[in-house]
Amino acid sequence: MRMTSFAATELGRLFPSLLATPRNPRPVLSPLGRSPETLVSFSSSIRAAPAALELCVRNGRAPVVAAGTKHLIGSLTKTEGLKFAVVVARFNEIITNLLLEGALETFGRYSVDDDDITVVKVPGSFEVPVVAQCLGKSGKFDAILCIGAVIRGDTSHYDAVANSAASGVLNAGLSSGVPCIFGVLTCDDMEQALNRAGGKSGNKGAEAAVTAIEMASLFKHHLLK
């Protein structure tokens, strides 16, 4: 107790403002249920926070207000000047042609000029990524749309091609710095593929084209501006 009193006396002598009694002390019950104690006020050493960063306490919680947050999103209407390449696998051509048709129709619907679209055909989905990477690094395109169809067979070949196509398209985008959109169908059978190439499940080529437009706009008008 003597040591505590001595320390308090010394603190009071060196820093009198720390032990200043507030004008309206707030009573608080001590943990042991003793008589109310007075809180020590440190208000003299705390500056008022700017109004923009005030914390509004509701229900015992203090939500942090983030001022000036920016939200960036690609536009589907500002397509003028955007250039696209479409890499299409010829294998399972009955499917990939439908996907390509859906993509081109969508580009036209969003006012992308035909002269700003380049279609490149490759043997199969396995060859799509390397061509996408080459086109991305050329600097001529704002986004690359990759189209293919891999349908499961009786061997493990399906898994090898599907996995390679997916990781390859991802790496093409990362290495080139240009959005490479994955529009390769991976289906169990031909019926599934047809349903996703304009059937009851829509056209995944069209959906991928919308993604390509949004990503191209995001990069050109925001990220690379």
Structural contact between residues 118 and 85, judged by C-beta atoms closer than 8 angstroms: yes
Distance CA 58, CA 81 (A): 49
Instruction: Clarify whether 71 is annotated catalytic.
Output: no
Question: Which of 71, 157, 221, 222 is labelled catalytic?
Answer: 157
Q: Cβ of 199: how many Cβ atoms within 10 Å? A: 13
Rounded CA separation 189/122 (Å): 22
Q: Is the distance from CB of 105 to CB of 164 less than 8 angstroms?
A: no
User: Residue ranges of the alpha helices (H) in the chain?
Assistant: 2-14, 93-109, 128-137, 157-176, 190-195, 204-218
Contact of 142 with 82, CB cutoff 8 Å: yes
Distance CA 121, CA 90 (A): 7
C-beta of residue 87 within 8 angstroms of C-beta of residue 132: yes
Catalytic residues: 157
